[in-house]
């Protein structure tokens, strides 16, 4: 009986451990909830989030919220899905705004309507706090599934010093594609065949590339996808063809834009180092540019060909499906607190995203901040022409079909028209199962 | 082989052969029970985290749902057929083959070169060995983040130093013709020092007397390398080749950090394809089927190499 004593010891230890684990659940205490949060821009955000949650816990003794860092937007989706599958979903998640539709289709989201009704407000009143452009990504089939937390739009960044040097007036930034092309030509510097300074750089890596294509297509009068129904994208259309052809012309015809696919961080580094005179990038990069640019810079609306329009980006707060009622309630308290005007404004100033809550811009701190940093105003003003971010069934693969083709065009391997035809075909294939269940399911 | 077998051998001849075997087995089992019990904890964890997961993959590969809200149903080999018909998968396999050959051959050649150059131990070679081994100590993710800056078009270290020599500055990671080779350079840089260790160990095993005899017989350095060192290193070569091939399939951290398989799937490798199916497409069936195919390929490759190795060892 060599092992019996050890076995007993082992059992005893296991028993104690199990008891210790079970104990807090039995005890009366604050409702413990987890908040999954991604850090899409830089490391400092994790500290800011810690500060925010600490403040919340101090003000709400009945709730103990824990902020769990979950990586990028994509990683956060993976981890949320994994925890839903394991039966232990977090109470709230800061989720990339264009993943909501896909999650709703997969039954992974809690409908927030009843929580709003329990507060004695109507959906219209609740949504009315936020900029109208943000509502498209938060409302699905007239039900609220997400609360906008931090958002962005694309902007045109201009190196003002280089513009002046080229005889251009940075206070009158280019407003149309024609003017932008002209600026880019004047700002490009060459030594023989070699370009030493690019006129403009537009990022194209998975995720960013689709967002920029949506931006260019919208300014060309088009739409990327069906805003009302997740089974359609409009890749093979004149407005997108015009957008991609112009982008491709900047690279191959005018030679004012670096060839190939360049990810966002490479574009911003290029701009900061003076190697690209203009760039199109998210408002989320504004703080980074402000802190790092050693030259005068200007931000402007994305120039138009047909109309001024931009997509939104950023993230919303969601409550995953399958959560216990008391935790759901606690999560709702946290969400309302985090999206209140004061906290929304604080987070905006810390990160560079704009605050989705309109009242945030009336708080004294924010008025003060905007007076000191007028460039932050441009993003907010552009919201008037902003529209939802593309979201379809299987958003990421559907987007990737377009991005792969756009990258081929930017590498000079395909013509825009054949690229878009191929992208449309591949996207339709991915969307097929969803259409079979919805638009093509006939009585 | 049980620990206590010789002592437990029964000598009774009256019992029937069948009972004999059974008795032998039970006594054998009884004697080796402590050994099994000692192995039990690791077996539990292996079952939980390795065999259990493998079994789950096997089951998942057989199920699929027709439409998003439909329940999963048994589809047999449909998932495997779908993976094989997917041009992204075949593209990833081709990329992976190019990547495997293009990283294994140069990194093994470099490793051998380093090992031969640094086989004698003194202060200088120790320092150089440490320097060459350094990349192994850097996690792949960190190394990828570093190389991201090195490869930055126009402003990165690489363009800073060699930009003047090139007619046009390439977009190292953004050009679909170049990106895979850029990724391969990191792998070679990272792994050559690691494989060097195996070759250094292998070189210690080259018999000193044979070398001396060859030296006395007037064999030059090349002849000694060709006829003594390389044949003696054969098992090491085989082992390192297997490791390098496995690495080519299982290490995709840099693809994840640097290119996400892009541009236009130019750097998409099999393991990253599986990740995309599971996470981006949310298609567990197809991801599991692709995993099974990869596992089968890897296992047959490993079995084949080790059998060759065993044959060689045994047939000496």
- Cβ pair A334, A33 in contact under 8 A: yes
**Is residue A21 over pLDDT 80?**
no
Q: Which residues pair with A157 in a beta bridge?
A: A279, A299
H/E stretch holding A329: helix A325-338
Whole-number pLDDT of residue B32: 84
Question: What pLDDT sits at residue B6?
Answer: 46
Per-residue pLDDT band for A213 (boundaries 50, 70, 90) equals: very high
Query: How many CB atoms lie under 10 A from the CB of residue A120?
Result: 7
- Estimate to the nearest angstrom the gap between the alpha carbon of B177 and the chain centroid: 26
Residues A216-249: tens digit of each pLDDT: 999 999 999 999 899 999 999 999 999 999 999 9
Distance (Å, rounded) from C-alpha B274 to C-alpha B251? 13
Shortest Cα–Cα distance, A246 to chain B (Å): 19
Q: Is the pLDDT assigned to residue A10 strictly greater than 80?
A: no
- CB nearest A260 (choices: B66, B175, B282): B175
| Residues of chain B neighbouring A404 (CB-CB closer than 8 A) | 262-265
Does the pLDDT value for residue A18 go beyond 80? no
Cα B35 to Cα A10, A229, A242, A300, B9: the distances in Å are 18, 63, 73, 74, 19
Question: Residue ranges of chain B with pLDDT lower than 70?
Answer: 1-19, 312-316
- pLDDT for position B312: 64
Cα A374 from Cα B237, distance rounded (Å) = 64
Distance of CA B313 to the CA centre of its chain: 22
Q: Give the closest-approach CA distance of B35 to chain A in angstroms.
A: 12
Which chain A residues contact residue B265 at CB under 8 A? 404
Which chain A residues have a beta carbon less than 8 Å from that of B153? 258, 260, 262, 266, 270
Name the nearest CA neighbour of A320 among A82, A52, A17.
A82
Residues near A428 by Cβ (< 8 Å), separated by ≥ 6? none
Count Cβ neighbours within 10 Å for each residue of A422-431 and write b for 16 or more, e otherwise: bbbebbbebb
Tokens of A204: 């194209």
Pairing state of beta strands A143-144 and A139-140?
Answer: antiparallel
Which of B259, B285, B263 has the alpha carbon at shortest distance from B274?
A: B285
Q: Do A260 and B171 touch (CB under 8 A)?
A: yes
- How far apart CA A152 and CA A354 sit, in angstroms, is 6
pLDDT tens, residue by residue, B54-75: 899 999 999 988 777 778 889 8
Chain B residues within 8 A of A194 when measuring between CB atoms:
167-169
pLDDT (tens digit per residue) in A103-116: 998 889 999 999 99
Angstrom distances, CA of residue B240 to CA of B132, B198, B251: 17, 7, 15
Hey, are the CB atoms on B280 and A396 less than 8 Å from each other? yes
Rg (CA), chain B: 26
pLDDT at A20 over 60: no
Q: Do B153 and A2 touch (CB under 8 A)?
A: no
CB of A269 less than 8 A from some CB of B: yes
A143 forms bridges with which residues in the sheet?
A: A140
pLDDT interval class at A38 (50, 70, 90): confident
Between CA A249 and CA B79 the distance in angstroms is 41
> For A150, which DSSP code?
E
Closest CA–CA distance from residue A396 to any residue of chain B (Å): 6
Cβ pair A187, A352 in contact under 8 A: no
pLDDT tens-digit map of A243-268: 999 999 999 999 999 999 998 888 99
Nearest CA to A75 among B257, B250, B139, B68? B257
CA torsion angle B185 B190 B192 B195 (round to 10) = -140
Q: How would you class A123 by CB atoms within 10 Å of its CB: exposed for 0-12, middle for 13-18, buried for 19 or more?
A: middle
Question: A63 to chain B nearest CA, in Å?
Answer: 32
Total residues belonging to chain A: 443
Contact between chains at B152 and A266 (C-beta distance less than 8 A): yes
**Which pLDDT band holds residue A85 (cuts at 50, 70, 90)?**
confident
* Complex-level ipTM beyond the 0.85 threshold: no
DSSP classification of residue A283: G
Pairing of strands A92-96, A154-159: unpaired
Q: By C-alpha distance, which of B12, B10, B44 is closest to B26?
A: B10
A413 and B154 within 8 Å at the Cβ level: the answer is no
* pLDDT tens, residue by residue, A167-188: 999 999 999 999 999 999 999 9
Query: By percentage, how much of chain A surpasses pLDDT 70?
Result: 93
* Residues of chain B found within 8 Å of residue A193, distances taken between Cβ atoms: 167-168
List chain A residues with CB under 8 Å of B67. 433-434, 436-437
What pLDDT, on a 0 to 100 scale, did the predictor assign at position B169?
79
Give the span between the Cα atoms of A188 and B99, in whole angstroms.
Answer: 37
Question: In angstroms, what CA-CA distances link A130 with A56, A341, A356?
Answer: 21, 10, 5
pLDDT exceeds 70 at position A28: no
The interface residues of chain A toward chain B in range 37-66, judged by CB-CB distance below 8 A, are none
The pLDDT of residue A376: 85
Of A263, A266, A436, the CB nearest to B67: A436
Residue count of chain B, please give it: 316
- Rounded Cα gap, residues A91 and A143, in angstroms: 19
Q: How far is CA B161 from the centre of its chain?
A: 33
Contact A109, A53 (CB under 8 A): no
A108 inside 8 A of chain B by CB: no
CB-based burial label for A211 (10 Å; 0-12, 13-18, 19+) = buried
Q: Tokens 């100590």, residue?
A: B137
Q: How far apart are CA A177 and CA A379, in angstroms?
A: 19
User: What pLDDT is attached to residue B315?
Assistant: 43
Query: Does the structure show a pLDDT above 80 at A304?
Result: yes
- Contact between residue A45 and residue A39 where contact means Cβ atoms under 8 Å apart: yes
- The predicted model gives A3-25 an average pLDDT of 47
Q: Cα separations (Å) of B37 from A2, A7, B45, B61?
A: 11, 11, 14, 34
Flag if A107 and B262 touch (Cβ within 8 Å): no
Q: What are phi and psi of A375, to 5 degrees?
A: -65, -25
Average pLDDT of the segment spanning A143-158: 94
Whether A258 and chain B come into contact, CB under 8 Å, resolves to yes
Residue from the list A102, A195, A260 with its beta carbon closest to the beta carbon of B174: A260
The pLDDT value recorded for residue A24 is 45
| Mean pLDDT (whole number) for A85-99 | 92
For residue A41, what pLDDT is reported?
Answer: 54
CA distance A426 to chain B (A): 11
Say if pTM beats, i.e. exceeds, 0.95.
no
Q: Measured in Å, how far apart are chain B's first and last C-alpha atoms?
A: 26
Q: CB distance A205–B262 less than 8 Å?
A: yes
Per the prediction, chain A carries an average pLDDT of: 89
């Amino acid at each position: 009986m060599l092992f019996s004593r050890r076995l007993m010891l082992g059992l005893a230890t296991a028993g104690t451990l199990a008891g210790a684990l079970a104990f807090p659940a039995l005890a009366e205490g604050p409702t413990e909830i987890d908040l999954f949060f991604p850090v899409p821009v830089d490391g400092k955000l994790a500290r800011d989030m810690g500060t925010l949650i600490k403040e919340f816990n101090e003000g709400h003794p009945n709730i103990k919220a824990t902020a769990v860092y979950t990586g990028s937007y994509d990683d956060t989706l993976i981890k949320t899905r994994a925890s839903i599958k394991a039966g232990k979903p977090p109470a709230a998640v800061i989720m990339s705004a264009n993943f909501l539709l896909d999650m709703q289709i997969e039954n992974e989201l809690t409908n927030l309507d009843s929580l709003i009704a329990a507060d004695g407000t109507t959906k219209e009143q609740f949504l009315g706090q936020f900029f109208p452009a943000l509502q498209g990504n938060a409302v699905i089939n007239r039900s609220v599934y997400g609360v906008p937390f931090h958002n962005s739009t694309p902007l045109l960044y201009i190196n003002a010093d280089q513009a002046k040097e080229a005889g251009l007036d940075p206070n009158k930034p280019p407003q149309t594609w024609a003017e932008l092309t002209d600026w880019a030509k004047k700002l490009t510097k060459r030594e023989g065949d070699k370009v030493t300074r690019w006129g403009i750089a537009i990022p194209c890596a998975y995720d960013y590339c689709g967002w920029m294509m949506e931006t260019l297509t919208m300014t060309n009068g088009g739409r990327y996808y069906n805003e009302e129904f997740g089974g359609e994208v409009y890749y093979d259309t004149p407005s997108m063809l015009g957008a991609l052809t112009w982008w491709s012309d900047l690279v191959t015809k005018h030679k004012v834009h670096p060839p190939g696919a360049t990810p966002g961080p490479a574009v911003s580094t290029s701009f900061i180092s003076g190697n690209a005179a203009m760039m199109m990038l998210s408002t989320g990069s504004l703080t980074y540019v402000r802190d790092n640019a050693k030259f005068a810079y200007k931000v402007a609306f994305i120039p138009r060909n047909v109309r001024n329009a931009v997509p939104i980006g950023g993230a919303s707060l969601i409550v995953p499906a399958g959560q216990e009622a008391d935790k759901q309630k606690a999560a709702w308290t946290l969400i309302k607190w985090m999206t209140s005007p004061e906290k929304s404004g604080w987070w905006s100033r810390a990160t560079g995203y704009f605050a989705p809550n309109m009242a945030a811009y009336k708080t004294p701190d924010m008025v003060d901040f905007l007076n000191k940093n007028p460039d932050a105003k441009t993003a907010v003003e552009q919201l008037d022409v902003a529209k939802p971010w593309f979201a379809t069934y299987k958003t990421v693969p559907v987007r990737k079909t377009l991005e792969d083709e756009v990258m081929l065009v930017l590498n000079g391997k395909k013509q825009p028209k054949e690229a878009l035809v191929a992208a449309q075909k591949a996207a339709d294939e991915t969307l097929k199962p969803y259409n079979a269940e919805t638009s093509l399911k006939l009585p | 082989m049980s620990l206590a077998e010789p002592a437990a051998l029964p000598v009774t001849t009256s019992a029937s052969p069948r009972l004999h075997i059974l008795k032998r087995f039970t006594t054998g089992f009884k004697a080796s029970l402590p050994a099994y019990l000692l192995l039990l904890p690791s077996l539990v964890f292996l079952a939980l985290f390795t065999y259990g997961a493998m079994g789950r993959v096997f089951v998942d590969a057989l199920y699929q749902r027709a439409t998003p809200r439909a329940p999963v149903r048994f589809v047999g080999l449909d998932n495997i057929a779908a993976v094989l018909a997917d041009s992204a998968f075949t593209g990833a396999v081709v990329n992976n083959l190019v990547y495997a050959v293009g990283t294994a051959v140069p990194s093994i050649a470099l490793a051998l070169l380093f090992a031969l150059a640094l086989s004698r131990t003194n202060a200088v070679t120790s320092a150089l060995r440490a320097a060459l081994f350094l990349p192994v100590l850097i996690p792949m993710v960190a190394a990828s983040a570093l190389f991201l800056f090195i490869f930055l078009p126009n402003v990165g270290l690489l363009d800073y130093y060699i930009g003047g020599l090139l007619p046009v500055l390439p977009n190292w990671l953004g050009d679909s013709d170049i990106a895979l080779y850029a990724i391969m350079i990191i792998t070679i840089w990272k792994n050559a020092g690691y494989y060097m260790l195996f070759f250094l160990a292998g070189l210690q095993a080259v018999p000193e007397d044979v070398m001396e005899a060859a030296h006395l017989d007037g064999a030059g350095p090349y002849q000694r390398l060709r006829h003594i060192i390389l044949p003696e290193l054969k098992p090491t070569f085989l082992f390192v080749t297997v490791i390098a091939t496995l690495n080519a399939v299982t290490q995709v951290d840099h693809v994840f950090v640097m290119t996400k398989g892009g541009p236009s799937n130019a750097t998409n490798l099999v393991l990253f394809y599986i990740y995309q199916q599971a996470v981006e497409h949310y298609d567990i069936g197809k991801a599991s089927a692709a995993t099974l195919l990869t596992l089968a390929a890897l296992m047959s490759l490993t079995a084949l190499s080790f059998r060759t190795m065993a044959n060689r060892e045994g047939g000496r």
